[in-house]
Structure formats: structure tokens, C-alpha cells
Amino acid sequence: MLVEVSIAPVGEGTSVSRFVARAVEIIRESGLKHEFHAMGTNIEGSYEEISAVVKKCIDAQAEMGANRIIVRMYMDDRRDKPSTLQRKRGSVEAKLK
């Protein structure tokens, strides 16, 4: 499964980079393949693995003092063939050349 996730607190001011940085640390520590980008993070893994990591990110932001946390997840659960971050990006890149 491929997931794009964005996790950020509400009401913590205009800059939430310290919260985002903590979430990225947790995702990196998970060992799952991922790609951090400006508006979220792409993660590759099973639904159970990804859900557990997202929960850790939410819990960490609450521990940092956030009383409201918004999570946006966009999932791609392809069943007809293996789907990876590299394969998905490579398919588009091949068509651009």
C-alpha cells in the first residue's frame, strides 16, 4: 500500500515545523520506505504498519501539547501488481521522456 499523509496540529501558531519534524522522525524510525516532501510524506507498507506509525505521530504531537491534530491520508491499495514508491514514480518518468 502507498499512502500520502500530512499530520499537523491546529491552534499552535503559523509555524508548525517542530510538530512536522517530530512526525518525520517517527516515520524515519519506523524503517518503512518513505519520501518526505513539502506538503506531506509518502509511505510504503502494509495498512497495519502505516496505521501504527500514523498513530505514533498523532500521539507524539499530543504529547508536545497539541490539543487538536488534523490528519489527511490518501491511500493507494493496488491489488493487481506490486506497487512501490519507486515503481509509481518510474512509470510517470518513463512517459515524460
H/E stretch holding 36 reads strand 33-37
pLDDT tens for each residue of 17-62: 999 999 999 999 999 999 999 999 999 999 999 999 999 999 999 9
Distance CA 69, CA 89 (A): 30
Q: Could you tell me if 50 and 76 are in contact, meaning their C-beta atoms sit under 8 angstroms apart?
A: no
CA angle 27/56/51 to nearest 5° reads 80
Residue 73 sits in a domain whose CATH number is 3.30.70.930
| Number of folded domains that form the chain | 1
pLDDT of residue 88: 86
> What is residue 97's predicted lDDT score, i.e. its pLDDT?
77
Range of the domain at 13: 2-96
Average pLDDT for residues 69-73, to the nearest whole number? 97
